[in-house]
């Protein structure tokens, strides 16, 4: 039977993977398909379509960013609580890699939210949409590469480590005195 801990770990992992697929995939799509198709066809979508498209992407960005934040932080805490990360590379930089990944991911979340948003900043960023999507795509791919590096770190379950237990044998049982004997 599958343990509850394994089930939680799997659900969190799937949540993280699906969030990454949605956010990174939509950013790559926007940069490599949507924007070039507008440029090649000199197509400027009707305001209604552009607004529908922006709202749809904004929902995807919000959902995937939330999934990634929640599942990423929970996963990191569970890993640090459950496993000992080995010192060999990349284990010796695991926490630093997480910190860099987390900060870059926050920038990716911000840029995706800003590009799909409706604020003045969003409109300003969309004036150079191709540039900012390229930056966001490069950062998102970097985050995925760091995740792969972190995943390759050797780890050992903390409960699996041998904890030395005192051994009892006839010689040390007979030689030990009880605290009651000292009175």
Mean residue pLDDT of the chain comes to: 87
44-69 pLDDT, tens digit each: 778 888 889 889 999 999 999 999 99
Q: Is 135 inside a domain boundary?
A: yes
Q: Give a yes or no: residue 103 inside a domain.
A: yes
Q: Which domain holds residue 82?
A: 4-175
Residue 170 has pLDDT above 90, yes or no: no
Task: Look at residue 181 and tell me if it is in a domain.
Answer: no
Q: What is the per-residue pLDDT for 166?
A: 57
Cis peptide before 90 (omega within 30 of 0): yes
Asked whether the predicted pLDDT for residue 175 surpasses 80, the reply is: no
| Two structure tokens written together for 128 | 């150079």
Q: Output the pTM of the full model.
A: 0.79
Q: Is 125 part of any domain?
A: yes
Q: What percent of the chain has pLDDT over 70?
A: 87
User: 132: Cβ–Cβ under 8 A, 6 or more apart, which residues?
Assistant: 111, 114, 115, 125, 126
Q: What digits encode the pLDDT tens for the residues 78-127?
A: 888 888 888 878 878 999 999 999 999 999 999 999 999 999 999 999 99
* pLDDT (0 to 100) of residue 167: 60
Residue 22: inside a domain, yes or no? yes
Residue 88 lies in a domain: yes
Instruction: Determine the average pLDDT of the residues in 137-158.
Output: 92
Looking at the structure of the chain, the number of domains it has is 1
What is the C-alpha to C-alpha distance for residues 140 and 53, in angstroms, rounded to an integer? 21
Inter-residue contact 23 to 140 (CB < 8 Å): yes
Q: Is the pLDDT of residue 75 over 60?
A: yes
């Amino acid at each position: 039977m599958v343990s509850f801990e394994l089930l939680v770990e799997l659900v969190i992992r799937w949540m993280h993977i699906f969030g990454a697929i949605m956010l990174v995939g939509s950013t790559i799509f926007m940069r490599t398909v949507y924007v070039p198709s507008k440029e090649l066809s000199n197509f400027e979508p009707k305001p209604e379509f552009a607004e529908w498209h922006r709202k749809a992407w904004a929902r995807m960005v919000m959902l995937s960013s939330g999934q990634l934040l929640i599942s990423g932080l929970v996963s990191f805490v569970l890993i640090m609580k459950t496993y000992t990360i080995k010192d060999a590379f990349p284990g010796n930089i695991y926490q630093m890699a997480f910190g860099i990944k987390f900060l870059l991911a926050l920038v990716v979340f911000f840029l995706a939210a800003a590009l799909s948003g409706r604020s003045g900043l969003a409109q300003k960023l969309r004036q150079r949409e191709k540039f900012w999507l390229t930056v966001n795509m490069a950062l998102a791919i970097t985050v995925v590469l760091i995740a792969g590096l972190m995943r390759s770190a050797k780890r050992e379950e903390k409960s699996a480590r041998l904890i030395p237990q005192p051994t009892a044998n006839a010689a040390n049982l007979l030689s030990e005195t009880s605290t009651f004997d000292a009175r």
